Structure 1
Amino acid sequence: MRSPSMRHWGQLVVLPVVLVVVVWVITADSGSIYFPPLSEVLGALGSGVVEGSLLSDLGYSMRNLILGLALASLGGGLLGMVIGIHAHTREVLMPLLAFLRAMPHAAFVPAVILTLGIGAAPKILLIAFSTCWPVLLNTINGVRGIHPAVMETAAVYRIPWHLQLLKVVMPGALPQFLAGLRISVSVGLVIVVISELYGSAEGIGYFILRSSQNFAVVDTWAGTVLIGIVGYLLSLLLLLVEHALLGWYEQRAPRSRPSRAGSGLLRQGPRLGSRHERRQPGAA
């Protein structure tokens, strides 16, 4: 069990390094102003973090993203457990939830900014609204995946509802909840950039917009690369959290099934017994 896990983590580290090396080699002799060499982009990224405003812009965006994800995780997780437990409520609300999930959330950005302003609070609300759906729907599916016998056993033994929620429902829905949270991170990064492009005085999206308006192509690429790096690091962080919390889930042994040889022996048993029974009268 250990070697596949180590191989998986090795791939997560080695493959991005190989990709960076390949892009570095391909763009080394690039003379286009729209596709500068990767060395210049990384140099602009380093200077922007150390000397420029890129680090403060990134901090502003990450604060909005973390607060929005926290609201989405809390609201989506609790509401998902409630809807997942009550079958009638789930049947009534699932069409509405599927409709809201399918709507392009980026289309709400101009309307929300126009209505609520360009401060941080509207952006956090947009991030929370856009990222709650993967968490909500995955939590519902996680609760539905709990075996009915487990819930019936808890009800028969009259376990209090809060203990059922903590000891049965939450552990059963946790794998799907974390999978939905990983999807929400990528969605949240997109909404962060779009909201700051439409109306903001700071943030990584504002940095990209300002650089493009000043025809600073290298800085524009540097901001874009920084978003990709942050998204990848957040995904790795969530993988580590998932590995730490779900060790019991990943190492669970698969259910054993009867083999064909065993089933064949079971089928041969009655035939051997019947022959033996036929020989008994002759022997007597």
Structure 2
Amino acid sequence: MGDSQTTEDQKHPGKAGISWPIQERTSDPIAKFFRPGSKLTWHWNWSKHWKGPLVPETSPDLDIHAEFLPMVWSPELVHDGNSLQPGWKLLMGFNEPDHYDPAVARKISPRDALPAWIEMSKWITEPDQKLVSPAVAGSVDWLKEFFSLIPPHTKPSYLAVHVYTTTFDSFVRTIENFWDTFKLPIIVTEFAMQSFDPNVPGPQSQQQVHDFMGQTTKWLDETSYIFKYSWFLACRDSYHLHGVHEYNRLMDRNAELTPLGRQYVNGGHE
């Protein structure tokens, strides 16, 4: 029984992963999310590698047994001199190119983003290497224009999606709209119980977020066109939450998993 279960798990690995900010300068705390028994299978940090000069305080002997998805979060970083993490299979495109935030996003038109995207596509040299689309902050029109401009051979294999909302129904509606529009398997690279609409209050209790995580992760796991997903966010410094309510934290300031973090590691809804 044990061997057959192992084989089945290998054929159908879990979808859930971890996002964490490279600005914390070390990957060491993230290893706590991948201890034996964890349901998590991948991680990303808005950058090109988790072990190298961009994360200089990482322990040299750190080993994380999980897939890492590198990202080129801004077009100018195509030529920044930093290399992708060896062994990568999925390469993520630009972060919120429809939005300006000096720390995490560079607003750029689809046409101006095109040369960097074409250059990135040249890094695909193996059959199992794939591109993941830019993840917009909210503008489906930006993505529509982007897809209308890129050469067919550079079309991404997966669509990256961000969802910030406070109800399960609006969460599902938002993702269904992306699916109906682009018909590409989806990687929900950021989601949390948070709205950036000033008229929509954030979560009123920690339990609300536990419940929201339970509903959303169950739906994501059961929805066939969802390929991967990662909750926002695992970090020590609250600054890196970028306005997302503290109730959504997966890690506390001492680099220990919060109760919500433990729920996520254990499957989110199980």
TM-score by length of 2: 0.23
- Larger proportion of strand: 2
Larger radius of gyration between Structure 1 and Structure 2: 1
Q: Taking CA–CA contacts closer than 8 Å with sequence separation of 6 or more, which of the two structures ends up with the larger relative contact order? A: 1
TM-score by length of 1: 0.22
- Larger proportion of helix: 1
